[in-house]
Amino acid sequence: MKKKRSFVLVVMLLSAVCAHAAVTAQWLLDEGGSGGGDTAYDSSGYGNNMVIETGSTAGQWLYEHSQYGTGFSFNGTQRFEAVRPAGGFPFDFSGDFSISADIHTSSGGIIFATTEADSWAYHGKRFEVSGGKLLFQSHSRGVLAGTINVQGALHNVVASYDSSESLLSLYVDGELDASTTITLDNDSYDAYLGGFVSGGTLNAGFFGIMSNVKVTDTVIPEPATMLLLGLGSLGLLRRKA
């Protein structure tokens, strides 16, 4: 129970400090409360809904009374797709952005990606769990690997990019995990949850529960990190849980 309370506190704090961020996409994955279906709706108001493309949604939606709350339980076979509209997505991955999600994974996989429909494309982007740790990569641009194990428990994970400093950072439960300098470019691809397809085969399929995938047009501000550290650090909260 303490662990769950600590996680909720982390999410509330991150939500508070990022309250002024413009949400450019948000897939709550809470459709299970209404019986589920094949669509994960975009709550940002931009209408970029995700539709199941590979695998089945049958029996995979979680209801509010589950121990994890609402979400979608991926088994490594599902990929949701949001087709890029004619005018482009509202998020621009060459400027400031943050991608966040709540996950409980058993063996990792892709959380969010932009790429071609049937290949890992030039300048495509992947935010995922690999080898138990967070990983963000952009084709032909670079890779950032995390150091904190995120398997086997519920975590809030974030990839955040400060375009003015070309600084990419990974966070786990509000704690800075890793950072590097990298120059990212915008792309013109569709967006996906749960994996990418190459040669007709799903690759890096996600295993585990995912909910509240959000994209904003701001970087996590340094004062937010300092605020959290001032509360005794999130690492300490996890150790006490």
Integer Cα distance of 171 and 164 in angstroms: 19
Indicate if the alpha-carbon torsion angle 147, 148, 149, 151 is positive or negative: negative
The pLDDT tens digits of the residues spanning 60-79 come to 999 877 777 899 999 999 99
Q: Span 6-11, mean pLDDT? A: 49
Contact indicator for 3, 235 with CB cutoff of 8 Å: no
Look up the pTM and report it. Answer: 0.83
Residue 142 CB neighbours (<10 A): 14
The pLDDT tens digits of the residues spanning 22-72 come to 999 999 999 987 778 999 999 999 999 999 999 999 999 998 777 778 999
Going from the C-alpha of 208 to that of each of 24, 33, 154, 161, the distances in angstroms are 25, 19, 10, 26
Phi, psi dihedral angles at 126 (to 5 degrees): -135, 125
Phi, psi dihedral angles at 34 (to 5 degrees): -110, 20
Q: What structural domains and CATH numbers belong to the chain? A: 2-240 (2.60.120.200)
Integer Cα distance of 138 and 62 in angstroms: 31
Helix (H, G, I), strand (E, B) or coil at 239: helix
